[in-house]
Amino acid sequence: MQVTRDEYRILGETLRMIDIATRMTISDESSDLNGFHDDTQQPP
C-alpha cells in the first residue's frame, strides 16, 4: 500500500489537532500552560 503526500498531510493535521486538544485538556488541570485557551478566568 502506497501512502500519498495528501494522506501524510491529512494525518499530520489530525495528529496536530489531537495534540492541541490534549494540551487544552491538560491546561484545565495544571498551571503550566497559563493563558493557553483559558476561557474560565475572564477579567472583570
Phi, then psi, of 33 in degrees rounded to 5: -110, 55
- Domain membership flag for residue 40: no
What's the grid cell of residue 7? 494522506
22, part of any domain: yes
HSE-up of residue 15 (Cα within 13 Å, Cβ side): 6
- Residues 6 or more apart whose CB falls under 8 angstroms from that of 26 comprise 32, 33
Establish if 19 belongs to a structural domain.
yes
Instruction: Give the per-residue pLDDT at 2.
Output: 83
Q: Which domain holds residue 18?
A: 1-27
Q: Is residue 37 part of a domain?
A: no
Reference 33, options 19, 12, 14; nearest CA is 19
Is residue 16 in some structural domain?
yes
Is 18 inside any structural domain? yes
Round to whole Å and give the CA distance between 9 and 14.
9
* Number of folded domains that form the chain: 1
- Tens place of pLDDT per residue across the chain (44 aa): 787 999 999 999 999 999 999 888 776 665 554 555 555 665 56
Looking at residue 23, its pLDDT comes to 86
